[in-house]
Structure 1
């Protein structure tokens, strides 16, 4: 009935950060970014550009992530801001809040933080947390 999704990236890969690579500092990107290594700092998609981040099973990010589409199979220690969609695979581990418009979580994924819905027309980073929590609570009521 349900097919498991492959952990390969979706779409085109413009930048690959290999498994032996460690980046310290903020990293700005556009297009397809596939991370197998470790990033200590913010991952930020260029404003107004199409961008998708795919974090591989063994990849990790220690810092915030800002992108339209974020696919997580590895570990994130920091908040996630997706203006379009967040997908968390079965091996995904997130320590932080996830700001999303659409979210998909596979069985086995772990989130230690809050899921905060972002309304259409707002950037995820611009959402006031109490407003987002109120919106999330009113949906559950």
Structure 2
């Protein structure tokens, strides 16, 4: 359903063992394997993807189109199109989403807010991923 549009390429990587203190603005795709203390903002004029790996931690607010989390986030998350929570995702903060896919084992300590009106591309969708393995 969400693969109709081609995903933007991941052009930037914050490697494991790295820590950045401060806000980050990015375009296209960003993968985080290290630590961020600051807010992450994807440009709104083109599609964006943010991947937070199992080893990563983010303390701050996150805004992007498609967000995939398998690490730790402390702060609010704003997914304009899709939020995927992998099994080791840990979010402490409110989650705003147009569509949500949550795998067994992921934890959200906060409230869920489906986007409505002009903020969302379509009606909010909640998809629970089954453990097939």
TM-score using structure 2 length: 0.82
Bigger CA radius of gyration: 1
Q: Which residue of 2 aligns with 1:99?
A: 96
Q: Is the 8 A contact 2:49 2:65 kept in 1?
A: yes
Name the one with the larger helix percent.
1
1:46, distance to aligned residue in structure 2 (A): 1.0
- d(CA) in 2 for partners of 1:35, 1:101: 22
Q: What TM-score, normalized by structure 1, do the two folds share?
A: 0.78
Higher strand share: 2
1:42 maps to: 39
CA distance in 1, matches of 2:21, 2:92: 19
Instruction: Kindly indicate whether the alpha-carbon contact (under 8 Å) linking 1:90 and 1:106 is maintained by their aligned counterparts in 2.
Output: yes
Mind listing any 5+ residue stretches in structure 2 that lack a counterpart?
Answer: 1-6, 121-133
Q: Which runs of 5+ in 1 are unaligned?
A: 1-9, 124-141
> Counterpart in 2 of 1:55?
52
> What secondary structure is seen at the aligned counterpart in 2 of 1:14?
strand
Q: Report the RMSD for the aligned CA atoms in angstroms.
A: 1.3
**Equivalent pair of 1:101/1:120 in contact (CA under 8 Å):** no
| Cα drift, residue 89 of structure 1 | 0.3
Counterpart residue number, 1:26: 23
Contact 2:8/2:28 (<8 A) preserved: no
CA distance in 2: counterparts of 1:83 and 1:100, whole angstroms: 6
Aligned length: 114
* Structure 1 stretches of 4+ moved >2 Å: none
